[in-house]
Structure 1
Amino acid sequence: MLWSVVLLMMDPVRAKEEPVERTVLEAVHVVAAPIIEANPVDAFAAQKTLLTQEQMEDLNAHDLQTALRRTPGVTISRYNPVGSFGGATGGAIFIRGLGSSRPGAEIKTFFDGIPVYMSIWNHPLLDLLPIDPAQTVEVYKSPQRHLFGNAFGVVNLVPKTAPQEGFEATLRAAYGSYGTLLVRGENGGSEAPWSYVVSGAYQRSDGHRDNADGALGNLYGRVGWHLNPHWKVYALTLWNDNYADDLEAKGVSPNRRQGRYETRLWLFSAAMTNECEKASGFFKIYRSGGEGDWLDQPSSTARVREDLFNDFLFYGFKARERFALWPGGEIVTGLDWDRTKGTTRLSSPMGRKMYGTGMISPCFRHT
């Protein structure tokens, strides 16, 4: 024990007599764009991942799956080069393993904070969410009820806005393997106090195998009015019409092919926003409705094909206001009123029919 104490007392002296030589590395400057834009954390310790238009262009993304395929914590699945067959493995996203349950409510999808998913089965249909009109994609990987309510994970598309001043227009076209065609057009402008954006896109592909074809088409429009430097109003609309065929697994009888999945959406929203020194927020009304139809699917009898028609509808209003009353502090208030309903109908040549309706009315959520 005595010798240990002596050695410990000698160590500091030895360190002073023999200075350690340090090597300083040259600075490394990273100039390439990251695979994501950022992982910001808000005042309530809620984190989200941001993917901007720049990253989507660098990834040569043409839909939501290809845009998120390199986002940490997100995995994707798909069958076809263009189009998502339903909302399961044929075209889906999974956030930290969540998103595989059916019927599922683990992951919710939004466009400008407006719900866009199949209300009957309560899971996303990714073809309803085109990235062409999206300026930013937000991915929330954990429950954040003060923002979106009942969901373990959320993907929200932030729509494009007009340029700060002047006018601009773009037109892009691409053609590739398997007869794949992509056309996108956009025009936007600002002239005080008005601003506008209109865009449209169409893409199709014959697919890499038989019955792997699909097509996506969408139109988007937004008009805004600056009442004054602090208050703005805007209205936007999104329409799309899509389909994807099932290519069936290799070695499986063609009679077991799952047919075609068609999706359609028409969304409308109007909002008033404010941005002041001590307060900011919005009031928004919306309507989001569409279809997710599974056509020509096999029945219990292999030679008989059936059609399943599903309709969904969301409408209501959302209000939110944030107050920054003291440095480092924030108070958030809000009120959501959402109404959800949908119908499902099975049509079969065998005479077997199924009808169903579902409705939640009203649904309140306050913050």
Structure 2
Amino acid sequence: MRNVPFYALLLLCIGWSALANAQEPDSLGMSLDQVVVTGTRSARAASQVSASISIIDRDQLEQSSHINVLPSIVPHVPGLMLNDRATVGYGVGPGSGGNLSIRGISGTPNNRILVLIDGQPQFMGIFSHPIADAYHATDIERVEVIRGAASVLYGSNAMGGAINLITANTRSPGWSGQVAGTAGSFGTRTLSGKLAFQSERWESLVSLNHGATDGFRDDAADGFSNTSLFYKLTHHLQEGLTLTGDLQLSDASYQHPGTLEAPLSDDQRDYRRGRVALGVRNDGEKASGAVLVYHNFGEHRFATGFQSVDFNQGLSLYQNLKLVPGQTLTFGVEHSRFGGEASNDQLPPAAAVGLDDPHRVRQTEVYAQVQQTFWKDLHLNAGVREVYNSQFGNTTVPGFGLSYEANARNVFKASSSKAFRSPSVVDLFLFPPSNTELRPESLWNHELGFLRSFSGGKWELEFVVYYTKGDNLIQLDIAGGVPGNRNTGTFRNKGLESQIHYRPRGELAFIFSYNFADVSENVLFAPRHYLKLQTIGQVGKFRFVPFVQQVFGLRNSLDREAESETYSLLNLQVNYQISDRLRAHILGNNLFDSQYQLENGYPMPGINMAAGINYQFKSKNR
């Protein structure tokens, strides 16, 4: 079933959805008047933001049965590819999953797509990649994704885009919560619970999540287990002034299976991650912004002898000022430190360069952006970020764009922006290829976009063309016979993104996207053609949600003789609403039993199933 024609899958999904009755399904797409905060640091209608942004709200997240939030957003974000286990869990590093790619921009490990929690950057202090296992759906209210360069507002690592996970708020006074559990193929099981409380000025939320699988590889051990705790406390000091603190802890273990050519039986890797954050936010008519402090930390222990402790901590302050009609000025200052130390007593001295010593990198950044509206329809923005890094010195990151609302149904966008990635600790200090003279990676992203809403909002269309030019990429170079990390890599990516949302009278609802990418030979994880279709059909208490992906020309190896991957995937979720509070679901993944590899040498599982229940409760208001 590797080459099932996509149109056949399309007809299959439409056929399922055609069973729908007149009940209105949840919104599937991004309306032009939805308010976003990620693209500008201030609340603004999506139609007025020059960046390409995808929005996934709480209702959409709650309809998914995934314990982790990232698989739930894939159908909604054009061109976003996610390398997961297709059961539960990701793991850390190459061959373990968790890789994110937008417009062909990714990395190994993934350090060119920035993940944020409430606007605060989340990445490991040594390898500079996010830990995908730490992001759970119970904790997240909303996800906003910037597709394309986002470093002017969010700094390092936002080369291909930024994924902002906005943590959950308590929706109603009194007590509320939910418990859920699933069990499925390969010994996969998940348990999650959330308890929330809201009074006049206080909000509190605590969640506990556990996911595990025995693994599906017959030739190697590939089990996974993760338990995470999240706590958030919010105090509304006065109108327009809010104090928030949150804590997150994760304890995980996975078995790295190795490739098909070199399977492993006892490469267990344990890691613990933690995060604490405190923020004060002001929201006034003339001024809005925040002061945010965060500290991320982790500990890793591998059977191969590798051990590490790392941290990533920082302070962020920004303010949006509306002093002139139609104008918003944003000023921000950020200071961060990241680093750690590692050891491996199984390596010979020649291979243990930089180990056993602590390493620190400091970075101070200031940025400013101006947004100006002319004649109510033309919205211009321009910004610049100035970066000082203790290793490479200074770099300047500019960006500008516009959005033109031709009328209530048609919006045109254009933008050009620079983005960068600071060298990580492993690039600079660890192992023989390390090089303390590295400069930051950089790229320029140029794009044109068109959005249209018609037929009374039943149809929404988004179309974007882009050109991305990357330079100074850090790559292993053997010039002069001495292998080392050097700023030698370049690439040129160009392509288009298109997405259609269709919402008739509840009888049929779908979100369809097609992406074309023409990328350089050294770019992986970027299919030449990538199609997605998710539909929703409602029949009485049953909800059918099939999700189809068709991938053509995915390169997963730099070997020029390696064949690219072409495959079809069909996932199907069926929900049954037993009562107002209790819902059951069945989830089937890869129902065509396609054989494919997202990372070369690491097969993905075939057909696998899971079933579970979700119970929600809320106390009566007095």
Relative to the length of structure 2, the TM-score reads 0.49
Q: What is the CA deviation profile of residues 240-286 of structure 1, one whole-angstrom value per residue up to 9, with x for unaligned ones?
A: 11122223344x344x4582333321111111111111221111111
Number of the residue aligned with 2:223 = 213
Indicate whether 1:283 and 2:291 are aligned: yes
Number of the residue aligned with 2:374 = none
Number of the residue aligned with 1:97 = 104
Out of 81-90 and 318-327, give the one that drifted further. Answer: 81-90
**Which has the bigger relative contact order, CA under 8 A and spacing at least 6?**
2
Structure 2 CA distance, aligned partners of 1:241 and 1:268?
Answer: 15
Q: What is the CA deviation profile of residues 221-251 of structure 1, one whole-angstrom value per residue up to 9, with x for unaligned ones?
A: 111111111211111111111122223344x
Query: Which one-letter code corresponds to 1:309 in the other structure?
Result: Q
Structure 1 spans left out of the alignment, 5+ residues: 1-28, 297-305
Number of the residue aligned with 2:80 = 74
Q: Which runs of structure 2 are paired with 1:220-235 in the superposition (5 Å)?
A: 220-235=230-245
Deviation at 1:336, TM superposition (A): 1.0
Q: Which runs of structure 2 are paired with 1:53-202 in the superposition (5 Å)?
A: 53-70=58-75, 71-79=77-85, 81-91=87-97, 92-101=99-108, 105-150=111-156, 151-152=158-159, 153-202=161-210
For the structure 1 residues 350 and 149, does the alpha-carbon distance in structure 2 shift closer, same or farther, using more than 3 Å as the test? closer
Indicate whether 1:33 and 2:31 are aligned: no
For the structure 1 residues 68 and 357, does the alpha-carbon distance in structure 2 shift closer, same or farther, using more than 3 Å as the test? farther
Q: Which among 227, 243, 246 is matched to residue 236 of structure 1?
A: 246
Query: Which one-letter code corresponds to 2:282 in the other structure?
Result: N
Structure 2 spans left out of the alignment, 5+ residues: 1-21, 37-45, 369-622
CA contact (8 A) 1:87 1:124 kept: no
CA contact (8 A) 1:138 1:156 kept: yes
CA contact (8 A) 1:220 1:237 kept: yes
Structure 1 CA distance, aligned partners of 2:240 and 2:187?
Answer: 49
Query: Which one-letter code corresponds to 2:115 in the other structure?
Result: T
Q: Which has the higher strand share?
A: 2
Query: Which one-letter code corresponds to 2:296 in the other structure?
Result: S
SS in structure 2 of the partner of residue 54 of structure 1? helix
For the structure 1 residues 164 and 333, does the alpha-carbon distance in structure 2 shift closer, same or farther, using more than 3 Å as the test? farther
Out of 318-327 and 232-241, give the one that drifted further. Answer: 318-327
Number of the residue aligned with 2:255 = 245
Number of the residue aligned with 1:19 = none
User: Which runs of structure 1 show a deviation greater than 6 angstroms over 4 or more consecutive aligned residues?
Assistant: 349-352
Deviation at 1:109, TM superposition (A): 1.8
Query: Which one-letter code corresponds to 1:97 in the other structure?
Result: G
For the structure 1 residues 169 and 271, does the alpha-carbon distance in structure 2 shift closer, same or farther, using more than 3 Å as the test? same
Structure 2 CA distance, aligned partners of 1:123 and 1:168?
Answer: 34
CA contact (8 A) 1:82 1:244 kept: no
Structure 2 CA distance, aligned partners of 1:229 and 1:261?
Answer: 47
CA contact (8 A) 1:289 1:312 kept: yes
Structure 2 CA distance, aligned partners of 1:112 and 1:147?
Answer: 13
Identity over the aligned pairs, expressed in percent? 20
In terms of Rg, which structure is larger? 1
Q: Which runs of structure 2 are paired with 1:13-32 in the superposition (5 Å)?
A: 31-32=24-25
Out of 144-153 and 37-46, give the one that drifted further. Answer: 37-46
Q: What is the CA deviation profile of residues 175-219 of structure 1, one whole-angstrom value per residue up to 9, with x for unaligned ones?
A: 222222211111111112222111111111112234221112111
Count the aligned residue pairs: 326
Number of the residue aligned with 2:367 = 366
For the structure 1 residues 239 and 165, does the alpha-carbon distance in structure 2 shift closer, same or farther, using more than 3 Å as the test? same
Number of the residue aligned with 2:466 = none
CA contact (8 A) 2:170 2:198 kept: yes
Structure 2 CA distance, aligned partners of 1:59 and 1:44?
Answer: 28
Indicate whether 1:330 and 2:328 are aligned: yes
Number of the residue aligned with 1:270 = 278
For the structure 1 residues 128 and 169, does the alpha-carbon distance in structure 2 shift closer, same or farther, using more than 3 Å as the test? closer
CA contact (8 A) 2:126 2:338 kept: no
Q: What is the CA deviation profile of residues 271-323 of structure 1, one whole-angstrom value per residue up to 9, with x for unaligned ones?
A: 11111112211111111111344x23xxxxxxxxx222232212221111112
Indicate whether 1:47 and 2:57 are aligned: no
SS in structure 2 of the partner of residue 48 of structure 1? strand
SS in structure 1 of the partner of residue 327 of structure 2? coil
CA contact (8 A) 1:115 1:288 kept: no
CA contact (8 A) 1:77 1:89 kept: no
Structure 1 CA distance, aligned partners of 2:248 and 2:124?
Answer: 16
CA contact (8 A) 1:114 1:288 kept: no
CA contact (8 A) 1:36 1:55 kept: no
For the structure 1 residues 138 and 262, does the alpha-carbon distance in structure 2 shift closer, same or farther, using more than 3 Å as the test? farther
Relative to the length of structure 1, the TM-score reads 0.80
Out of 186-195 and 357-366, give the one that drifted further. Answer: 357-366
Q: What is the CA deviation profile of residues 74-129 of structure 1, one whole-angstrom value per residue up to 9, with x for unaligned ones?
A: 00113462221323342111111111245x64112222222222222222231233
Out of 41-50 and 185-194, give the one that drifted further. Answer: 41-50
Number of the residue aligned with 1:5 = none
Number of the residue aligned with 2:437 = none
Out of 106-115 and 224-233, give the one that drifted further. Answer: 106-115
